[in-house]
Structure 1
């Protein structure tokens, strides 16, 4: 089997999602995905990486992955180069599964779990729908359906928690500190601002008590001094974890933060390659290892990071607040790893726009996700995607 063409696709409506399709001389096509800077990633794939792919055996995944990430600007990064390599890697695993008639989780070692607990990231239908990806700007609160959970946690987090529990979902992630960080550039928080940001936690605990686990997302917006102050104020509400409280570019600073709180530190969707994670783990700066497969090297690198986390006796928690193919890839990886703690999900996405784009989404029921079925990733782009008037396609052939 040889690679005959590399194709990229994105739409103007969902302008952050980029799909990669790897075509072969057998007629099999592998599907991959990444998120953010779609046009830049597409350019890198066609201008730089396609020549490294065409004519090669697509099942030599490890060797191809090394070739794609060994470029000078691609190493230990989550920029366009690494996102491109990630999407291609996911597509190659999809191809491998289709060629062998096996689901991707089987190729990764088989199921370690019959079902996995999920948490709901409380985004809404319009969240990260455009390129203006900054705190608050990303919010784009809409009214497209019953799961506008961003508005929910900002207006009545207690009612939202109760609604999630009714669906069997007993963990939720919120980020009420982001608007304040935008005002102060993450440098400081007043007593009044702190009390305002704590209200969602008060409402959740008052309404549902300890039935709900609360993950706190900080989006790397705070300096260390203020992040420590916020951590101390949050501890009485027993958060499940603190995620990316500061920028993930100093293992020493993050280790300092981790020592100041008894709440586990989760990091980080922003880290690229296992080498960045190892530095953080060596300093005991991370308690829970989060990986976004679409940004950190695909399934090849993601699996290595999960194994690395297990070596340090740390749990693994795949990230997903991006696109539907990435979600499927994360679920396959989660099921294949013995140290998987929980899987991220966004109900506004998997009950909403994901279904407009792909043929299958993971089954989520009673607060758990079930393994994907079928060969490869078990999902594909819907035929309607190829008929969209806003679709941008670029193809490089042998």
Structure 2
């Protein structure tokens, strides 16, 4: 046995949505997990509901623990606080599994099908998605905070941005120029002039670099079906790789399948879904072309493997999400190396160059547009030692932690 003896949570006020979990076991190991959104609520679930049940159990029995945490009386089948808490625990358990065996987590999962995975750059800014609001803010600053403030760049000069990405070895990029038009009508109406303005960055990218880069269009679940259909049909001219989360209810297989029938633009979804059950419904309805998942929201690597298996059964490509935190990024990379139909791992070069590296000891190694397989045991990263010395750190412990 490898008994869980303590559950520790850590969060910092600078990044109010992020929460980390450390699981200690009686064989001297510590597993690291992470989740995102509503950190205080997830913290409460972890200490009031999860810790009393988990402490004293065998950390090697990952599937049994995952099944229990992913089927609570309330809060399952969605990205609820319960599911986000279960996700953090599961990621930590798989970190432990790799460390216990002395191998990378991808090996503990069953091994790699590839030595590296292509990455695409989500063209976000340095502070993208870091606030504490219930959903992502649509607005953006007009002043670039540095050379990788790509959200401003794709609205100002998308062609120059594409050229800089190609020079760095990226073969794919993701932008969201239509978001700014959604609030006025709750995403139900998109005028022809707005459509033309939103298409302009795609036109500039193609003019600047031609077909040397793939373009993904992110729609952030902001639009009704009429507006989404207008966007997706217009995007066909630019041969975009996918339109992501095009409608406001991405768990609606009927509406999504109807949209997919109206356009040749491939549909990608959805990081917001909270269990394999929802992906099963979308795949069975022939509603998506690409499966995206976020391991901090869907149930961790255990549930992620089930989703990846569904993608394989339906012959759909898989693409793990990253706009949440560095530990989830590392976990997603392990899944992307393991899952046969994985095609991309998302990254944000702005965060890789700044605050991600301030939070953890190691990040994915990128070379020629590819993320290389980690070689260290477990996930291959730890919280940066400076985290424990921060004045804005909030740390809670359940169980009996070892003295440090």
The normalised TM-score by structure 1 is 0.98
8 Å CA contact 2:139–2:180 kept in 1: the answer is no
Q: Give the gaps of 5 or more residues in structure 2.
A: none
Q: 1:40 to 1:366 in 2, by over 3 A?
A: same
Partner of 2:234: 233
Partner Cα separation in structure 2 for residue 165 and residue 133 of structure 1: 34
- Cα deviation, 1:294-314, whole Å, max 9, x if unaligned, reads 000000000110011100111
SS of equivalent to 1:211: coil
Partner Cα separation in structure 2 for residue 133 and residue 176 of structure 1: 21
Q: 1:26 to 1:296 in 2, by over 3 A?
A: same
8 Å CA contact 2:125–2:150 kept in 1: the answer is yes
Q: 1:141 to 1:90 in 2, by over 3 A?
A: farther
Partner of 1:17: 18
Instruction: Kindly report the root-mean-square deviation, in angstroms, between the aligned alpha carbons of the 2 structures.
Output: 1.2
Count of residues in correspondence between the two structures: 398
Partner Cα separation in structure 2 for residue 191 and residue 224 of structure 1: 16
Task: List structure 1 runs of 4+ shifted beyond 6 angstroms.
Answer: none
8 Å CA contact 2:19–2:39 kept in 1: the answer is yes
Partner Cα separation in structure 2 for residue 79 and residue 191 of structure 1: 37
CA offset at residue 378 of structure 1? 0.6
Q: How does 1:113-128 map to 2 (within 5 A)?
A: 113-128=114-129
8 Å CA contact 2:120–2:344 kept in 1: the answer is yes
Q: Give the gaps of 5 or more residues in structure 1.
A: none
SS of equivalent to 1:112: coil
Which of 242, 247, 250 is the equivalent residue of 1:248?
A: 250
Partner Cα separation in structure 2 for residue 392 and residue 138 of structure 1: 29
CA offset at residue 134 of structure 1? 3.9
Partner Cα separation in structure 1 for residue 139 and residue 358 of structure 2: 21
Q: How does 1:200-349 map to 2 (within 5 A)?
A: 200-246=201-247, 247-349=249-351
8 Å CA contact 1:129–1:138 kept in 2: the answer is no
- Cα deviation, 1:165-197, whole Å, max 9, x if unaligned, reads 001101000011111012221010111111111
Q: How does 1:1-398 map to 2 (within 5 A)?
A: 1-134=2-135, 136-137=137-138, 139=140, 143-246=144-247, 247-397=249-399
Partner Cα separation in structure 1 for residue 184 and residue 360 of structure 2: 38
